[in-house]
Amino acid sequence: MSEEKFDLIFKGELAKGVELAIAKKNIAQLFKINAEKVDALFSGKAVVLKRGLNADAANKYRVAIKKAGALVDLAINQPVQTRGKASFGEAPSASSQVTAPGAIPGTIPGTQSSVPTTAAAQKEASVAEQSSSGLTIAPAGSDLLQPSERAALPEVEVNTSAISLRENDGNLLDDSEYTQQPEVDFSFDEYDLAEPGADVLKPEERKKVTAVAVDTSGLEMGNLGENLAPPKKPAPAPPDTSGISLE
């Protein structure tokens, strides 16, 4: 079973927190291309940077471009009919494609993971048209939709003419907006105040408690100063050691 191959697709997406001008500058230095060709890369159209890369080489491309401030997609390579081809820089000859000793195949010229071979090899950055498969693998954390693919919500005009702001101080409601409770007339003619120290309840208002007969015939009072606890047992006498002598 042959090893699965990937196409490297560039859509001009930026890495998180990277400005467009910084990403363009880094990509230009990475691929050794001029500003016009960098602008073509960031036009928003998907282009294939490389075809038929193995997983290790494709991942090295992705990491190097992400360090430069941009994102690329990895799509499974499928044989398609190429309609045209554009090239950034001179077309590399057969001799320029020979990998220098110690170089890692599939890496981008100008990165720390590659060893420059010739001037033509350093300028090589082939860009082909978009693959007809339409399938790509987006890097983790990237947006799945392009700005042009997002649904444009129509602007809604909200009439705020009836809305006003109050000052910082004061109540939010006017006095006329509060619910008015009707006044209640209370009569206290049947109430009076007792004198200080007087019983608040009348004798007939008190709860009657029935006395309980308790049998105390088995109880008796001790004499004044008498010990109520039972007497303690006397301590045992010390042992008799008269029959013991030391030689």
Q: What is the structure's pLDDT at 118?
A: 39
Lowest mean pLDDT among 81-90, 126-135, 176-185: 126-135
pTM flag (> 0.85): no
Does residue 42 belong to any structural domain of this protein? yes
Average pLDDT, integer, range 171-180: 83
Angle between helices 55-67 and 20-31 (to 10 degrees): 130
Average pLDDT, integer, range 147-154: 80
Does residue 61 belong to any structural domain of this protein? yes
Whether pLDDT at 130 is above 50? no
> Left (φ > 0), alpha (ψ -120 to 50) or beta: where does 225 sit?
left
Does residue 230 belong to any structural domain of this protein? no
Give me the residue label for tokens 């003619």.
189
Q: Contact, 128 vs 51, CB < 8 A? A: yes
Q: What is the structure's pLDDT at 22?
A: 93
Does residue 200 belong to any structural domain of this protein? no
Whether pLDDT at 175 is above 70? yes
Average pLDDT, integer, range 192-217: 86
How many Cα atoms sit within 13 Å of 6 on the Cβ side? 20
Whether pLDDT at 158 is above 90? no
Bigger pLDDT: 45 vs 89: 45
Bigger pLDDT: 230 vs 119: 230
Confidence of residue 19 (pLDDT cuts 50, 70, 90): very high
Does residue 212 belong to any structural domain of this protein? no
Lowest mean pLDDT among 7-21, 45-59, 101-115, 138-152: 101-115
Does residue 178 belong to any structural domain of this protein? no
Domain count, the chain: 1
Does residue 75 belong to any structural domain of this protein? yes
pLDDT tens readout for residues 71-106? 989 888 876 555 555 554 444 444 444 444 333 344
Whether pLDDT at 123 is above 60? no
Q: What is the structure's pLDDT at 185?
A: 84
Confidence of residue 245 (pLDDT cuts 50, 70, 90): confident
Average pLDDT, integer, range 139-156: 78
Q: What is the structure's pLDDT at 63?
A: 92
Percent of the chain exceeding pLDDT 90 equals 8
> Which residue, 173, 31, 171, 150, is CA-closest to 88?
31
Does residue 181 belong to any structural domain of this protein? no
Distance CA 70, CA 41 (A): 11
Mean pLDDT across the chain, nearest whole number?
75
Domain that includes residue 12, residue range: 6-91+101-141
Average pLDDT, integer, range 216-238: 85
Cα 112 from chain centre: 33
- What contacts 24+ positions apart, CB below 8 Å, involve 199-206? none
Lowest mean pLDDT among 1-10, 52-61, 190-199: 1-10
**Maximum Cα interatomic distance, the chain, rounded to a whole number of Å:** 129
